A and B are shown apart, each in its own frame.
Chain A
Amino acid sequence: AQSVTQLGSHVSVSEGALVLLRCNYSSSVPPYLFWYVQYPNQGLQLLLKYTSAATLVKGINGFEAEFKKSETSFHLTKPSAHMSDAAEYFCAVRRVSGSSNTGKLIFGQGTTLQVKP
């Protein structure tokens, strides 16, 4: 079975500070991992994805994430937070059935990022 755990339901940083949102996964097969962002009253937007290529993945809006197999982690970082980064962030793993890619996603619980001026 696959699962995703996001550590910390709320993270608060000051504008200009480092953003670190934690995600750990469990998967018996090489995972496809994603970070999505949800702004208030909007749908989900893909920030970045890991698909077994480079372990350091760069996404939109200055975000990046590093896949660490030994730690089963895929933490999201941004060197300097902006006020506009305040949103809900979801880590997700693509569900695999046997050797088939199902297209379904399993989401973590979400982390609300607050950015203080």
Chain B
Amino acid sequence: SAVISQKPSRDICQRGTSLTIQCQVDSQVTMMFWYRQQPGQSLTLIATANQGSEATYESGFVIDKFPISRPNLTFSTLTVSNMSPEDSSIYLCSVDPEPMNTEAFFGQGTRLTVV
């Protein structure tokens, strides 16, 4: 199993600013994933964060808007840049522990409101 800590748990931000969300895992994992859950919607994968290489973004998401860092095997950050009210969502970090466990674990999420 894996225990994931996300910070902050929630924030209210002004439009045009940026917020960095941190994800810390209690064990080393190869891949970490960032999902977005817009209000009343399901989860959509933003990107895969791989240690030692550039993050891989899904269609509709770009690095300039959602830069990701992965400095080691237990930590990642997602930045939401130049925020607008449309970015108000829950952002969740997820991991799939080695060796390619069949279960994905999720953090508690960061509830972001942009005003």
Interface on A for B, CB 8 Å cutoff? 32, 34, 36, 41-46, 49, 51, 90, 94, 101-105, 107-110
Cα-based distance from A51 to B102 in the complex (angstroms): 7
A-B contact count (CB 8 A): 51
Q: List residues 73-111 of chain B with CB under 8 A from any CB of chain A.
A: 92, 94, 96, 100, 102-109, 111
Contacts A104-B45, A104-B48; is A49 near B103 (CB within 8 Å)? Answer: yes
CB < 8 Å neighbour of A90 from B6, B33, B42, B48: B42
In the complex the two chains form, is B33's CB within 8 Å of A104's CB?
yes
Please tell me the number of chain B residues within 8 Å of chain A, measured between CB atoms: 22
- B16 → A minimal CB distance (Å): 27
Beyond A34-B104, A43-B108, A102-B48, 9 additional contacts (C-beta under 8 Å) are A46-B104, A90-B42, A103-B31, A103-B48, A104-B48, A105-B33, A105-B45, A105-B104, A107-B42
Cα-based distance from A82 to B108 in the complex (angstroms): 23
Chain A positions within 8 Å of B92 at CB level = 43-44
Chain A positions within 8 Å of B96 at CB level = 103
CB < 8 Å neighbour of B42 from A51, A102, A110: A110
- The prevalent SS among residues of B at the interface is strand
- B38 → A minimal CB distance (Å): 11
Cα-based distance from A6 to B102 in the complex (angstroms): 21
- B18 → A minimal CB distance (Å): 23
Contacts A41-B111, A103-B31, A104-B33; is A46 near B42 (CB within 8 Å)? Answer: no
B62 CB–A CB distance under 8 Å: no
B115 CB–A CB distance under 8 Å: no
In the complex the two chains form, is A43's CB within 8 Å of B106's CB?
yes
